[in-house]
Structure 1
Amino acid sequence: MAGSKFVTTTAQEPDTAPTQTSAPVAANTPPSAAAPQAEAVIDLDAVAHNIGILREHAGGATVMAVVKADAYNHGAVPVARAALAAGAGELGVTTLAEGLELKNAGITAPVLSWLHTADSDFAPAVAAGVELGLSSPRHLAAVAAAARQVGTAATVTVKVDTGLNRNGVSREEWTDFLKDLARVEAEGAIRFKGVFSHLAHADEPHHPVIDDQRERFTSALEDAERIGLVPEAAHLSNSAATLTRPDLRFDMVRPGIAIYGLSPVPDLGTFGLRPVMTFRSRVALVKKVAAGEGVSYGHTWVAPHDTTVALLPVGYADGIPRALGGRFEVWLGDDRRPGIGRVCMDQVVVDLGPDGAGVREGDTAVFFGDGDGDRGVPHAQDWADALDTIHYEVVTSVRGRTIRTYVGGPGGRS
């Protein structure tokens, strides 16, 4: 790996050329005077660390790093490069556009795209070497037609529905689908690579449905082999199964959220994962508020005594849910400080206490990051608990005027 690097991009344009460089820094380093007002710091060394943990749990199985949804809002191309440099063997995305983005960035590792309508234009993806997931007879016909148009066999992996009842070839269609698949492969329009499925209860490692799905998946593989379709890659495990169910490894595992340092089964601990995203802001204003004065719209919070508050220029337009008003803390002035009043479109207010805790305008407030306990830096799980949701939603919601900054990681390897 090359030395650490520091680059920034906008949240809306995560893969543009770097707009800022400086000496190597750590994710918890205070920003300079020119730093963004709102920033998502993405630690690519943490990505590498997490891939290492997942590889240990995967045993001999290949790790497919899932970088869908712009790598869970962390930046698909930088995260993909970091994951591959750390030993991931393949990449997974949902849409064709996501797959093409990786290929257009010069990434040569296998990229599987698995969610698209049957009337999608598959030709550019086939021409670029994006591997395609097939979920119905209509998808098979459309991909085969695109391959004939391009003059290149499409590499395909079939998704079989084993009980999630979402995407995938149904059990009722499976036998006929395999026959059609064998015929199209014999014609040379496709290259059959593998079979995969997705678990419904992976975050409950001992749930009986997991065993049912494993049996159905194994049966589906046997059906394929009986007609001469022998997969080189069978995969069923997501992050939770990779970390808790070694019996589900097969040839490949397909982790997503764990790559970003968030536990797929929070009740079982962190598994040694390191959060990749630190969401932070600079203090725009520090001011006194007298006892009895209200703060923010509706005065839902009224000062019980004379106090000092800090204004942070980040709001619900940038990824702090309005429903979080009065229910979150930030790390500021070497301690947790409570958010007070309503979350506004552009700003939130935190209480510093009567003495102001030594906080000054320009200081850094961390909304969430690599949390280290109840009194340390908050964690994305803290927001998830307060909102009765999951940390996936928390990290993928950071947006708007938030600037994404990269630290650590490989020097552009693919």
Structure 2
Amino acid sequence: MRPLSKPLLNQNFSLSPKAVIPATEMGCLEINLKTIVKNYQLMKDLAPHAEISAVLKADGYGFGASPVGKALRDAGCKTFFVAHLDEGIALRKTLQNEKIYILTGVLPGTENELIQHNLTPVLNHAGMYELWKTAGHLENRPLQCALHIDTGMHRLGFEMKDIPNARCFEGLSLEMVMSHLACSQIPGHPMNAQQLAAFQKVIPHFQRLQKSLSDTGGLFLNPEYHYDIIRPGLGFFGMHPQSLEGPNPFQNVLTLWGKIIQVRSVPKGETVGYGATFKTKRHSRLATLGIGFADGLSRDLSNQGHVFIGDFKAPILGRISMDYSVVDVSDVPESLCYPGSWVQLVNEHQTLDDLALSINTISRELSIHLGSRLYRMYEN
């Protein structure tokens, strides 16, 4: 294993997290809130005539909905979306005055929680309309909500034939009509134009409402997709918006660190890890990291991923186990590899997108599995 190429050698790789991490911690997520805000500003530049909201479902794609939401609020973001009610209740503790929509909508028995926490459901079918209208009658006021229309994704939303006009929703305080693009990350996909045309057919019946169609990928489609409010998610976190085609316009916000807990010398011909899937081809020096698939490091990276130690790459050997991973540090200076030293598993040169591409998945699947055992450090 040779040092990285010259351009990377000039990057002055960090050897440890920027803050002092408790000695008990085996892994650390270093999340740059300033860069998240920069990505937000880029979105505003891309769609200057639309409001940029923030989708922070699944605990902000695994990055932390509360700290990310606070940073975006302080940068001017006023509208937020989460998937489920419990996510909205948790986010309301941080965002006390901002608009929070619940994409799953209102389900039986959740009406009072939505009202109590001032959360706005996105209605997806007629049953939700009836529940929310009845709850409004009990409150003696029409309750605020948004309307989701299915334009072809067939996941959530009213069917178009059930949406003749806004008068069908008397007794509600409708604020927004929305749909969701199935293929926005593939700019030339014909589904985008089909869904836009379907949305254009129904929105004349809702002239006074805000309209919303685009997610992060939609930012890079024709401006006619933008409408009044855009609902980005992954772009805030530096993930590629268009299926890894071309350079990523967003900046990486994450460094994932793992701690070395043991270094050993192993003769040629010895096996490494469960299942003995790797056999050393030379006398090797191996480092065991205290981070594994319980922390979100996918087992699919076994025998093909690598980590960064200073300016050096070190390949992952053998199967990644629940709590540990093994890397080959034979060509890394011993001064950099000792119990208690740190390695980088994700950084600007090996992003979540890069890892996802190497194991045929998507970056969001990796990010939401970043485990609760990982120490989280937010850079403001």
Alignment TM-score, normalising by the size of structure 1 = 0.83
Q: Deviations over 1:171-193 (max 9, x none)?
A: 121127x4330x22xxxxx2110
Q: Determine the C-alpha separation between the residues in 2 that align with 1:365 and 1:30.
A: 15
| Higher alpha-carbon deviation: 28-37 or 283-292 | 28-37
Alignment of 1:42-57 (within 5 A): 42-57=31-46
Matched, 1:304 2:276: no
Please name the residue that 2:133 is paired with: 144
Give the one of 245, 249, 255 matched to 1:267. Answer: 245
SS in 2 for 1:234: strand
CA distance in 1, matches of 2:109, 2:227: 30
Partner of 2:379 in structure 1? 407
Structure 1: segments with no counterpart, 5+ residues: 1-24, 185-189, 372-377, 409-414
| Structure 1 position 201, deviation (Å) | 1.1
User: Which of 321, 331, 338 is equivalent to 1:344?
Assistant: 321
TM alignment of 1:211-290, pairs within 5 A = 211-225=193-207, 230-231=208-209, 233-265=210-242, 266-271=244-249, 273-290=250-267
Task: Indicate if the aligned counterparts of 2:16 and 2:341 stay in contact, CA closer than 8 A.
Answer: no
Amino acid at match of 1:103: R
Q: Which residue of structure 2 lines up, in the alignment, with residue 10 of structure 1?
A: none
Equivalence for 2:11: none
Instruction: Map Cα deviations across residues 369-405 of structure 1 (whole Å, 9 max, x no partner).
Output: 222xxxxxx2112221122111111111111422222
Using a 3 Å threshold, how does the CA distance of structure 1 residues 35 and 260 change in structure 2: closer, same or farther? farther
User: After the TM superposition, which of the residue ranges 120-129 and 344-353 deviates more from structure 2?
Assistant: 120-129
**Contact map agreement 2:271 2:279 (CA 8 A) in 1:** yes
- Which one of 146, 152, 157 corresponds to residue 168 of structure 1? 157
Q: Write the mapping of 1:360-375 to structure 2, written as runs, cut at 5 A.
A: 360-371=338-349
2:177 touches 2:206 (CA, 8 Å); kept in 1?
A: no
Does the Cα contact within 8 Å between 1:54 and 1:242 map onto a contact in 2? yes
Instruction: Work out whether residues 272 and 318 of structure 2, in 8 Å CA contact, stay in contact via their aligned partners in 1.
Output: yes
Alpha-carbon distance between aligned partners in 1 of 2:15 and 2:176, rounded to the nearest angstrom: 40
Cα deviation digits, residues 189-236 of structure 1 (max 9, x gap):
x211010000011011122221121111121111334xxxx21x1110
Q: Is the 8 A contact 1:238 1:254 kept in 2?
A: yes
1:106–1:67: structure 2 CA closer, same or farther, 3 Å change rule?
Answer: closer
In structure 1, the residue corresponding to 2:186 is in which secondary structure? coil
Offset at 1:151? Answer: 4.2
Cα distance, 1:132–1:355 mapped onto 2, change above 3 Å: closer
Asked if 1 retains the 8 angstrom alpha-carbon contact of 2:15 and 2:343, the reply is: no
CA RMSD in angstroms comes to: 2.1
What residue identity is the alignment partner of 2:196?
R
**1:128 Cα shift?**
2.5
In structure 2, list runs of 5 or more residues that go unmatched: 1-13
Identity over aligned residues, as a percent? 24
Q: Which position in structure 2 is the counterpart of 1:192?
A: 174
Name the aligned partner's letter for residue 275 of structure 1.
N
In structure 2, relative to structure 1, the CA distance for the partners of 1:97 and 1:27 (3 Å cut) is farther
- Pairwise mapping of residues 27-66 of structure 1 onto structure 2 (< 5 A)? 29=18, 31-32=20-21, 34=23, 36-66=25-55
Which of 385-394 and 123-132 deviates more? 123-132
TM normalised by structure 2 equals: 0.90
Distance 1:357 1:43 in 2: 30
Q: 2-side partners of 1:33 and 1:257: how far apart?
A: 30
Q: Label 1:405 to 1:54 Cα distance change in 2 as closer, same or farther (>3 A).
A: same
| Alignment-mate amino acid for residue 267 of structure 1 | E
Q: Deviations over 1:313-337 (max 9, x none)?
A: 1111111122221110111132111
Would you say 1:207 and 2:183 are equivalent positions?
no
What is the alpha-carbon distance in structure 2 between the residues aligned to residue 125 and residue 217 of structure 1? 28
Q: Which residue of 1 aligns with 2:56?
A: 67
Amino acid at match of 1:105: T
In the alignment, is the contact (CA less than 8 A) between 1:54 and 1:243 conserved in 2?
A: no
Aligned residues: 365
**Residue 63 and residue 120 in structure 1: after superposition, are their counterparts in 2 closer, same or farther (change >3 A)?**
farther
- Displacement, 1:152? 4.6
Give CA deviations for 1:50-100 in whole Å, capped at 9, x if unaligned.
101111111121011110111001111111111122232311111112122
1:292 to 262, 266, 269: 269
Please report how far the alpha carbon of residue 248 of structure 1 lies from its aligned counterpart in structure 2 after TM superposition.
0.9
Structure 1 distance, partners of 2:329, 2:309, is: 9
Matching of residue 83 in structure 1 with residue 83 in structure 2: no
Q: Which residue of 2 aligns with 1:17?
A: none
